């Protein structure tokens, strides 16, 4: 299976057109949150602008390229869609666990919760292996660095090291776009905004994962 990954497109029409051009070339496209615009004209209602862009631009694109997504902390609304990833799912034969909460930031954004809440949400989850973990926030100390600090979640790290997904995809920290792996898991920060590139993931029948930038 070949998967196109991105995150943190923040209403970018460059990202939209790139996804439209190449998305159909992949078995699956996944967007790991922070989808909608975060800057609006003076006097505009950000939440309204976001929801209109989401419904009129993003959702039709997902239908066109057979894409799926979670929302992020800068997406200031809730939404239910058949293309939204949530909890345990099986998608095209792939076991997926999706989680959209992020640890606290200095900005007090949407979907922020404490690391204690994140752990409480995840600790009793039973997931069929092998599986892919989709979050918006990174695990602490892994592709989560910006301005000399680590902004990831300790609870996400503990969960990943415990449950050992074959792939953990996220975004949130634009400055740490990249990939890294340990013995059990390939980690991908697919945040688009800084580098304006995507990630391609190939998973073979033996659950071996390869990744490269696009």
Backbone angles phi, psi at 5, to 5 degrees: -115, 140
DSSP 154: H
| Residue 91 CA neighbour count, 13 Å, CB half | 26
Tens digits of pLDDT across the chain (214 residues):
999 999 999 999 999 999 999 999 999 999 999 999 998 888 899 999 999 999 999 999 999 999 999 999 999 999 999 999 999 999 999 999 999 999 999 999 999 999 999 999 999 999 999 999 999 999 999 999 999 999 999 999 999 999 999 999 999 999 999 999 999 999 999 999 999 999 999 999 888 999 999 9
Euclidean distance between the first and final Cα of the chain, in Å? 16
Spatial separation of the C-alpha atoms in residues 135 and 102, rounded to whole Å: 9
Q: In sequence order, which residues have a C-beta less than 8 Å from that of residue 42 and are 6 or more positions away?
A: none
Q: CATH for 2-213, among 3.60.21.10, 3.40.50.2300, 3.40.1190.20, 3.40.50.300?
A: 3.60.21.10
Spatial separation of the C-alpha atoms in residues 85 and 41, rounded to whole Å: 31
Q: How does pLDDT run across 159-199, given as a tens digit for each residue?
A: 999 999 999 999 999 999 999 999 999 999 999 999 999 99
Q: Report the b/e string of 46-56 with b at 16+ CB within 10 A.
A: eeebbbebbee
Query: What are the residues facing 198 on neighbouring strands?
Result: none
């Amino acid at each position: 299976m070949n998967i196109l990954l991105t995150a943190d497109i923040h209403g970018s029409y460059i990202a939209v057109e790139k996804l439209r051009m190449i998305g159909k070339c992949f078995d699956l496209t996944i967007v790991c949150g922070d989808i909608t615009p975060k800057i609006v004209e003076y006097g505009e209602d950000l939440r309204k602008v976001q929801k209109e862009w989401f419904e009129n631009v993003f959702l039709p694109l997902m239908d066109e390229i057979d894409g799926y997504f979670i929302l992020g902390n800068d997406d200031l609304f809730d939404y239910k869609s058949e293309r939204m990833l949530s909890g345990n799912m099986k998608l095209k034969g792939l076991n997926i666990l999706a989680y959209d909460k992020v640890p606290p930031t200095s900005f007090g954004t949407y979907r922020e919760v404490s690391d204690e809440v994140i752990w409480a949400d995840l600790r009793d989850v039973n997931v069929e292996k092998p599986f892919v973990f989709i979050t918006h926030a990174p695990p602490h100390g892994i592709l989560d660095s910006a301005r000399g600090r680590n902004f990831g979640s300790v609870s996400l790290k503990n969960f990943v090291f415990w449950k050992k997904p074959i792939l953990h995809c996220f975004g949130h920290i634009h400055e740490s776009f990249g990939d890294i792996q340990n013995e059990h898991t390939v980690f991908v920060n697919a945040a688009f905004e800084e580098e304006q590139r995507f990630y391609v993931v190939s998973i073979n029948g033996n659950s071996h994962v390869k990744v490269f930038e696009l």
